[in-house]
Amino acid sequence: MKKFFVVLSVIIVIVILVLFSKTRNKPIKTEEFVRTVSYEIVKKGEIKIYQDFYGKIEGYKQTEVFPDVPGRFLEYKVSEGDYVKKDQVIAELDRSIPGVSFEKAKVVSPIDGTVYELSLNKGDFVTNQTLICMIVDDANKIAKVTVSSEILGKIKNGTLAFVEVDGQKFDGRVVRVSKYPNNYTNLGSVDVLFSGKGNLINKGCTIKILLDSKENVPIVPFESVKNEQEKEYVFVMKDGTANRMDVKTGLKNESFVEIISGLNEGDTVITIGSDMVKNGQKVKVR
């Protein structure tokens, strides 16, 4: 009987070892993680490249006013920012000399416009070379900006532009571009014509100028394009799987990227979640 129990115990131990060995060698099934993503369809569209510059506003038509005769400045008959008509009196001068009295000399506006740069004080001696004021035709204004020679070559007359000053935004157009940059500074000037009401002359402004654009080209969202070792790529979602596709890109702005090659119109590119997926990983739409 004792021998029987010994044999039985040995058999039980062997069975346990065999079962443990099979369990240990059996592969453990793990469920593959599925990443949740968002996507956009590759489609043709328009892409525009703008750049911001800082400039200063001038009058499109402006006239410097000088006196016809010398004398002592008496007073301005207008205030800065006033709108005046042609031949309206702007200032008066005292032409008197010791022992001789003359009628006050009147300085008048040569054009209709707004008065700027009233800088004289009573008693100042003026000649016919002394600036009395500036009269500006306020119907149109010029935003002037200085740019590098590289940028200068990208801007053409008639190019769309936007001017922002004092919280106001105005549509404009480039009306003059320097033919050549300055030999010493390598800079050139650009004039943007716009219509804007208010006292804006001599104020600083931000000018957004269109540098390049393309129409009817394949575009994808900016965030979908990745870069690794100077190679650009996107993840295309197909049959629930993320597939890496190398691409060649063209124009880029803060929203879109032009695709030159590597994708076809109608492809599904991953946008949100593209930073976390791997090539071949299962994905699902959020």
How do the domains of the chain map onto residue ranges? 35-45+216-285, 51-57+138-214, 67-131
pLDDT-derived band at 98, boundaries 50, 70, 90 = low
The CATH fold assigned to 35-45+216-285 is 2.40.420
- In the block, residue with structure tokens 């690794």: 228
The angle subtended at Cα 236 by Cα 230 and Cα 281, nearest 5°, is: 95
User: Which residue, 46, 73, 65, 34, is CA-closest to 240?
Assistant: 34
CATH ID of 51-57+138-214, from 2.40.30.170, 3.40.50.720, 3.30.1330.90, 2.160.20.10 = 2.40.30.170
Q: What pLDDT sits at residue 196?
A: 79
pTM for this structure? 0.66
Q: What pLDDT sits at residue 81?
A: 85
Is a pLDDT exceeding 80 seen at residue 16? Answer: no
Is a pLDDT exceeding 80 seen at residue 281? Answer: yes
What's the average model confidence in pLDDT over 148-158?
A: 92
β-pairing, 231-238 vs 226-228, is antiparallel
Is a pLDDT exceeding 70 seen at residue 38? Answer: yes
Could you tell me which CATH number the domain at 67-131 has?
2.40.50.100
pLDDT tens across 39-84, in order?
Answer: 999 999 999 999 999 999 988 888 999 999 999 999 999 998 898 9
Q: What whole-number percentage of the chain has pLDDT above 70?
A: 87
pLDDT tens across 163-218, in order?
Answer: 999 999 999 999 999 988 888 999 999 999 998 777 788 899 999 999 999 999 99
